[in-house]
Structure 1
Amino acid sequence: MIHTIGKIAVIAEIGTSHGGSMKKARELIDAARDTGADIAKFQIVYAEEILHPDTGFVRLPGGDIRLFDRFKELEAPPSFFREIKEYCDKKGIGFLCSPFGTKSLTELAELNPQWIKIASPELNHLPLLRSASELGIPLILSSGVSRLGDIEQALEMTKKAPERILLHCITSYPAPEDEYNISVLGSLAAVFGVRVGVSDHSLDPVLVPLAAAANGACMIEKHICLSRSDPGLDDPVALPPEQFARMTMELRKAEGRTPEAVLEDLKARYGDAKTSAVLGDGVKRLAESERANYGRTNRSLHYLRSMKAGESIREEDIGILRTEKILTPGLDPEMLERVIGGELVRDVDNGAGVSLADLVRSKR
């Protein structure tokens, strides 16, 4: 029996590119629908669920701004996302959204989504994964800036979910096409027994998506924008409508063809060397462009207030946050229950990453 490529779900990642404007959100939804996407994806952002206020600054055209404040600007009330979902329903395009903590997950669940998307940096946010998996809603998990053990832990934590799709990803903006190691899709599907896809942050609209389609991807996610000159965080690496439409058209043409035929077409267009580089060796590892982000973009434990030696750590004293710019990464979130109730043996600063040395007195 000849194997052919099946139906591929195309996700247009809008994220926060609407900037809080319902008019622009609708324009982006329209663009996603008109370019052939099956799903329009958003993010429910609350800065305190993601970052510590002292995490550092980001450079914008108007000058430096605290990264925390930049995320605060992206916050929107629940009514905003309810209206977005209603508009998606009206336009006949699927609605998908990523939460980043308990508050955003609760608000998202109230919208009765068909799926919930967990972004790559939250793949080790174990309390979030546990809560999401208990809602009875299928999950889509991105696996950028993650090692094989991180993926295994996340899938174990979410096994109560009725279904999970694992998206291979590189957490780099833009992500180099030749680091994608698309052959890993077969390895991930075989090892974990789940359907797989790709969340693609590369600039080329065709190369990674078609390589993924030829390697078993059932889902392709890519950022969409109205223009790469727009002010959204991800707009510089997103696809404008004409490029997104090209990607979708190429994927639809690939459906029903053999993987071998699609790969031969890629080699004819991009050359053997480039295509082979994108396919990689199929061994799951951190991509070169995201290695420096490992431990900083992922979640870790951070103090939410300055504390003195002798104080006992309460649950409200600890945040499961992205470290990002200038703070020091803390313990992995899997250590949270061991940290709560511990007594500090030294003073700690607000925002500092939690360390075992804060809790265990040296024998020297």
Structure 2
Amino acid sequence: MKDISVNGINFHNLEKTWIVAEIGVNHEGDFDTAAKLIKLAAKCGVNAVKFQTFRIEHYISKVQSERYERTKKYQLSYEQFRELAVIASESGVILFSTPFHFDDVDFLDEFVPLFKVSSGDLTYLSLIRYIASKNKPMIISTGLGTKKEIQAVLNTILDLRPDAGIKGELILLHCVTAYPTPVDKANLKRIVWLRETFDLPVGYSDHTLGIKACELAVASGAKVLEKHFTYRKENQAFHDHAISADSEDMSQLVKMVRQAEAYMGCKKTLHGNSDEKMRSHMRRSIGAAVNVPAGKPVQIEWLTYLRPSWGLSPDQIDKVVGKRLIRGVQAGDLIRLEDIED
């Protein structure tokens, strides 16, 4: 069973990419659909599912009446979110959400282990400060954000929690907010730029079609991977479904990411276990090119270098040349430390 713990998470030290199925509002306000999506995502092998939590009066202005009425239909009640959190726990995945108001933060704080900040709210610093006050890990999406704006967000958080970055409680997500994002606009090099500029772990929120960008993001060092998720992409009125991964896509994404991680190995070691097993087979030892007699100073021209590495390694040649052997060594044999006089 996969590790789904997040309390005390350190984004610096994640051994595997944390894969998030972004359900968002793809449930379109229907509780049963939301529950179904959680269960489907869990079967795909993701680590977490993410929602959006809002009250329409604190989110969309009635100036955009059509948008207001459409988005209002996508609300879930607080009580429904509580029930969904239980379903997620029973399904073996973490549920968290993006809050859009202070009341949403207080409500979610009762049961979510971390928060997400929307790209659209990078300048809503009072809300970000309030989220930070809950002392939980924060995922910050940086779509639309300038360097100055991202730094202002981090300053706001770090003023309240100076050690949050050091403790690995913050992660930035590279995000392009175009739906869908064209291939030539994905700009995955920004993952490296964000990491180097702000000295924080970085992830990727993907809005491209397909899953190729996710694979490349992992290769670029993304620690968290977020992909919109739906039960069906085709013949849906709400546009988010078309850019989302369905169950088949998400299962393939998880498999691909885990395979990519296996290819990449671990930066803490210079070689893997398979290389370790080959060391003695592939490396050389100091050997006798001719019959080397005992009791005489060994001449370098008497020596050669042979596989396997069962004897002295070539970089120990000074321990052999000019020294006397206790026993004679036949041509083609390896010279060992115990063959040499003290």
Contact 2:140 2:173 in 1 (8 A): yes
2:207 is matched with: 201
2:324 is matched with: none
1:148 is matched with: 147
Cα displacement (A) at 1:19: 2.3
1:294-322 CA-to-partner distances (Å, cap 9, x unmatched) read xxxxxxxxxxxxxxxxxxxxxxxxxxxxx
1:316-355 to structure 2, matched below 5 A, reads none
2:136 is matched with: 137
Instruction: Answer yes or no: is 1:218 the counterpart of 2:223.
Output: yes
Higher relative contact order (CA 8 A, sep 6+): 1
Cα displacement (A) at 1:73: 1.1
Instruction: Answer yes or no: is 1:187 the counterpart of 2:193.
Output: yes
1:242 is matched with: 248
1:235-273 CA-to-partner distances (Å, cap 9, x unmatched) read 1211111111111111010113239xxxxxxxxxxxxxx
How many residues are paired up?
244
Percent of pairs identical after alignment? 29
* SS of residue in 2 equivalent to 1:135: coil
Contact 2:138 2:170 in 1 (8 A): yes
Contact 2:30 2:74 in 1 (8 A): no
Instruction: Answer yes or no: is 1:17 the counterpart of 2:26.
Output: yes
Contact 1:141 1:167 in 2 (8 A): yes
Q: For residue 202 of structure 2, what is the amino acid of its counterpart?
A: V
Which runs of 5 or more residues in structure 2 are unaligned?
1-13, 266-342
TM-score by length of 1: 0.64
1:46 is matched with: 55
1:31-52 CA-to-partner distances (Å, cap 9, x unmatched) read 1111111101111122222221
Q: For residue 227 of structure 2, what is the amino acid of its counterpart?
A: K
1:69 is matched with: 69
1:86 is matched with: 86
Contact 2:60 2:68 in 1 (8 A): yes
1:163-218 CA-to-partner distances (Å, cap 9, x unmatched) read 1110000011101122122122122112212110000000021x211111111100
1:256-295 CA-to-partner distances (Å, cap 9, x unmatched) read 3239xxxxxxxxxxxxxxxxxxxxxxxxxxxxxxxxxxxx
Q: For residue 105 of structure 1, what is the amino acid of its counterpart?
A: V
1:5-56 CA-to-partner distances (Å, cap 9, x unmatched) read 9510000000111223222112101111111111011111222222210135
Contact 1:17 1:231 in 2 (8 A): no
* SS of residue in 2 equivalent to 1:106: helix
* SS of residue in 2 equivalent to 1:234: helix
Q: Distance in 1 between matches of 2:183 and 2:107?
A: 35
1:114-158 CA-to-partner distances (Å, cap 9, x unmatched) read 110111101111111010001111100001111111111111112
1:105 is matched with: 105
Cα displacement (A) at 1:110: 2.1
2:334 is matched with: none
Which runs of 5 or more residues in structure 1 are unaligned?
57-65, 260-364
Q: Distance in 2 between matches of 1:31 and 1:158?
A: 35
Cα displacement (A) at 1:232: 4.1
1:174 is matched with: 180
Q: In terms of mean alpha carbon deviation, does 219-228 or 21-30 score higher?
A: 21-30
Q: For residue 224 of structure 2, what is the amino acid of its counterpart?
A: M
* SS of residue in 1 equivalent to 2:263: coil
Contact 1:129 1:158 in 2 (8 A): yes
1:227 is matched with: 232
Question: For residues 231 and 37 of structure 1, do their structure 2 counterparts lie closer, same or farther at Cα, with a shift above 3 Å needed?
Answer: farther
Contact 1:6 1:256 in 2 (8 A): no
Q: Distance in 1 between matches of 2:236 and 2:47?
A: 23
Q: Which runs of 4+ in 1 moved over 4 A?
A: none
* SS of residue in 1 equivalent to 2:262: coil
Contact 1:224 1:239 in 2 (8 A): yes
Question: For residues 116 and 15 of structure 1, do their structure 2 counterparts lie closer, same or farther at Cα, with a shift above 3 Å needed?
Answer: same
TM-score by length of 2: 0.68
1:73-129 CA-to-partner distances (Å, cap 9, x unmatched) read 122221110001011011110111000111211211122x11101111011111110
* SS of residue in 2 equivalent to 1:137: coil
1:359 is matched with: none
Contact 2:128 2:153 in 1 (8 A): yes
Cα displacement (A) at 1:231: 4.3
Q: In terms of mean alpha carbon deviation, does 156-165 or 190-199 score higher?
A: 156-165
Q: For residue 75 of structure 1, what is the amino acid of its counterpart?
A: Q
- Find the structure with the greater CA-based Rg: 2
Contact 1:18 1:232 in 2 (8 A): no
